[in-house]
Amino acid sequence: MRVGHGYDVHRFREGDERPLRLGGVDVPGAPRLEGHSDGDALLHAVIDALLGAAGEGDIGRHFPPGDPEYHDIDSRELLRRVTRLVLSHGFRVRNVDITVIAERPRLQPHILAMRDSVALALGVEPRFVNVKATTNEGLGAIGAGDAVAALAVALLTDEIP
């Protein structure tokens, strides 16, 4: 068994007409997050958790910010690539648990869609993925609604005896 954790935070890209992209799901009511890719802080936290568990560094090592190949890329594609990497090392994804911290918009109606989207990218059944959302109780930049943060923990099973 190998455990890894991930954390990411992105600020909102005010004035962006496109809806917030979180967990691979378009969520109305807030703009997209800043970032070289689609700014999906939730998926970036999951990617770092997987890479951490596999001892493979972090997202910036695999997808350098500024590389034109990743400009505006759908982060689900990045997660699929990292999942393939993890599998190629002989690991299997056992489960992933995620907490999103956001003051806006209301995420609860989209939680199950996010769970299903993450599970699909990981190639696991949805019951092995859990997504939780909370607020920052009005504290700091996240509490002011300027940014969204996400934390993730991933457990990998070692298939190699």
Q: Write out the H or E segment, with its range, that includes residue 29.
A: strand 25-31
State the nearest-atom distance from the C-beta of 153 to Mg ion, in Å. 17
**Which among 37-45, 64-72, 128-136, 138-146 is the span making contact with Mg ion, rule CB under 5 A?**
37-45
Indicate the residue among 26 and 159 with the shorter CB distance to Mg ion.
26
Give the x-and-dash track for 8-27 against Mg ion (CB under 5 A). Answer: x-------------------
CA dist., res. 153 & res. 97, Å (int)? 5
- Residue 75 C-beta: closest distance to Mg ion, Å: 8
Consecutive H or E run containing 125: none
Q: Which is nearer to Mg ion, 44 or 110 (CB)?
A: 44
Q: Residue 32 interacts with Mg ion (CB under 5 A)?
A: no
Among 2, 5, 3, 19, CA closest to 148 = 19
44 binds Mg ion (CB under 5 A): yes
Cα 96 from Cα 129, distance rounded (Å) = 5
Which residue's CB is nearer to Mg ion, number 41 or number 54? 41
Instruction: Report the C-alpha gap between 81 and 114 in whole angstroms.
Output: 18
The whole-angstrom separation of Cα 62 and Cα 134 is 29
Query: Whose Cβ is closer to Mg ion: residue 60's or residue 90's?
Result: 60
Binding site for Mg ion (CB under 5 A): 8, 44
